[in-house]
Amino acid sequence: MNCTICGVSADNVEDLVAENWTLSFFDENDEHGPLCPACSEILLHMAHDGEYELKREYHGKVTFNDQIEYMDDDPLCDIVLGYILN
C-alpha cells in the first residue's frame, strides 16, 4: 500500500497501523487514503465530527495518487434500471 500523496509504501495493513498511518481522510466530500505519518502531520487536522480532513489551505493544491489511477478508466460498474411487468 502506498501513501496517497507522497507514494511511500508499506507492506500490509498491520504495518500501517503500527506506524500510525491515517487509513482514511476527507478532502471536502471525497474520501482518500491511506496517508503516511509525515504527510498526515503536515496536511491533516481533526474535524468537528472526529474525522481527519485536509487542512483548508491545501484544498485544490494537492494531487492524490488514488485519483490519478482512475481518471482515464471506465466506470467501475454500470447500473441498469428497468421495470418488470407482472
Could you tell me how many residues make up the chain?
86
* pLDDT interval class at 76 (50, 70, 90): low
- pLDDT value of residue 63: 87
- pLDDT value of residue 39: 95
Q: Is there a contact between 65 and 4 (Cβ–Cβ < 8 Å)?
A: yes
Structural element, H or E, at residue 31 = strand 30-32
Structural element, H or E, at residue 52 = strand 52-54
The whole-number average pLDDT for the span 5-27 is 90
d(CA 40, CA 34): 9
Segments making up each domain of the chain, as ranges: 1-86
Q: Is there a contact between 27 and 54 (Cβ–Cβ < 8 Å)?
A: yes
19-55 per-position pLDDT tens digit: 999 999 999 889 998 999 999 999 999 999 999 999 9
Closest CA to 6 of 17, 30, 22: 22
pTM over 0.75: no
